[in-house]
């Protein structure tokens, strides 16, 4: 995970040591931990290309088509 600050500083959290806890707070509110985003901040969160550091502006995911029958009790991750 990489956080870029307006000052030009960048904070990196490595995935090489998952046993070490890491949490990002905004004030008293946790925003991120190793499980992913936890909350919503007053600032934007954007995807960044890990190789170039450039912002990724992708189109939004399309909605799920109507009529697809999904079994939420299934263990099948594709179902």
Per-residue model confidence as pLDDT tens digits over 42-77: 777 777 777 888 888 877 667 777 777 666 666 665
Report yes or no on 70 lying in a domain.
no
Report yes or no on 19 lying in a domain.
yes
To the nearest whole number, what is the mean pLDDT of the chain? 76
Q: Domains in the chain: how many in total?
A: 1
Q: Which residues of 52-78 are buried (b: 16+ CB within 10 A; e: fewer)?
A: eeeeeeeeeeeeeeeeeeeeeeeeeee
pLDDT (0 to 100) of residue 52: 84
Per-residue model confidence as pLDDT tens digits over 11-39: 888 777 778 888 888 888 888 888 877 76
pLDDT (0 to 100) of residue 56: 82
- Given a cut of 70, whether residue 1 has pLDDT beyond it is yes
Report yes or no on 47 lying in a domain.
yes
Report yes or no on 53 lying in a domain.
yes
């Amino acid at each position: 995970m990489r956080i870029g600050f307006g000052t030009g500083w960048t904070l990196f959290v490595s995935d090489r040591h998952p046993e070490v806890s890491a949490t990002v707070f905004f004030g008293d509110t946790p925003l991120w931990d190793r499980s992913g985003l936890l909350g919503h901040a007053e600032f934007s969160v954007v995807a960044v290309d890990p190789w170039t550091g450039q912002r990724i502006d992708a189109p939004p995911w399309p909605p799920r088509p109507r009529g697809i029958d999904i079994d939420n009790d299934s263990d099948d991750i594709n179902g």
